[in-house]
Structure formats: structure tokens, C-alpha cells
Amino acid sequence: MKEKTFIMLKPDVVKRKLIGRIIQRFEDKGLEILEIKMLKIPKELAEKLYEEHRNRDFFEKLINFITSGKVVVMVIEGERAISVVRKMMGKTDPLEAEVGTIRGDFGYSTPDNLLHASDSEDSAKREINLFF
């Protein structure tokens, strides 16, 4: 079943010049980029994106990180895109992510864990609507 998902390459990806290498992985997997743009996320938008974490102890650190530099946001489509992308990303903590995943190959800490992607169809719709 074809579905759309939202992906954000975080400021650490942009700073480390990994944009092309990470996008290439999604394209190599057969996923199609429908929309893409680079921007610096305003604090208010970052807080909306991560509102589910508002009461968690890491919320402020996450917001400060995600607004610290430019990000690349994308809408990607493909067969079971949400689960495929989540598997390609690897575990949230890059030190626990398997080699061969994006976080396992390029990541080394949190919240600098390279990317964010929708975890469900509802999240994908909400996140896509926030940015596109």
C-alpha cells in the first residue's frame, strides 16, 4: 500500500553535509520525494511539531536543538513508506542503532540523532500539514 510520510533532516545533518547521502538512501530504496525544502524552524513551529513531548524533561533541549540551524523537510511516498523509513532510520539513540541504519552509520548522540520521521499515518498527515 502506497503511503506518504514526513521526514526532517535535523540541523546536525545539514552542518555535517550529510543531506545528499541520506536522501540517496531513501531514493535507493525506491521511495519518491514528492516535496522538499530547507528552512530554519521557528520556535513556535518546533513546539507544535513536538507537542506530544511538551511535559518531558528533554523538551527544551530538543526545541533548542531543532531551532539551532537549518533543516530539510520532505514528503516521501512509497510502499509502506512509514514503516520502511522508520526501519531505515534505526533506534532513536544512535549508539543503540544497528549498523546499516542511518543513525547507526552516521549518528553518535541525542538529540543530534540526524532525523525525525512520522510514526503513523495520523502523525504523517499532521506533520506534512505543519510544513507543506
| pLDDT tens-digit profile, the chain (132 residues) | 899 999 999 999 999 999 999 999 999 999 999 999 999 999 999 999 999 999 999 899 999 999 999 999 999 999 999 999 999 999 989 889 999 999 999 998 776 899 999 999 999 999 999 999
Enter the DSSP assignment of 92: S
Angle formed at CA 91 by CA 10 and CA 54, multiple of 5 degrees = 60
* Residues with catalytic function: 116
pTM score, whole prediction: 0.94
User: Which residues sit opposite 3 in a β-bridge?
Assistant: 78
- Find the helix or strand (DSSP H, E) in which 93 lies: none
First vs last Cα of the chain: how many Å apart?
Answer: 23
Domains contained in the chain, CATH given: 2-131 (3.30.70.141)
Enter the C-alpha cell of residue 71: 533543516
- Whole-number Å distance between alpha carbons of 85 and 65: 22
What confidence score (pLDDT) does residue 104 get?
Answer: 94
What pLDDT shows up at residue 59?
Answer: 92
Question: Residue 110: its pLDDT value, please?
Answer: 75
Q: Which amino acid is at 51?
A: E
Residue 127 C-alpha cell reads as 506533520
- For residue 22, the SS3 value is helix
pLDDT at 130 (0 to 100): 97
pLDDT digits (tens, 9 = 90+) for 54-69: 999 989 999 999 999 9
What the block records as the C-alpha cell of 131 is 510544513
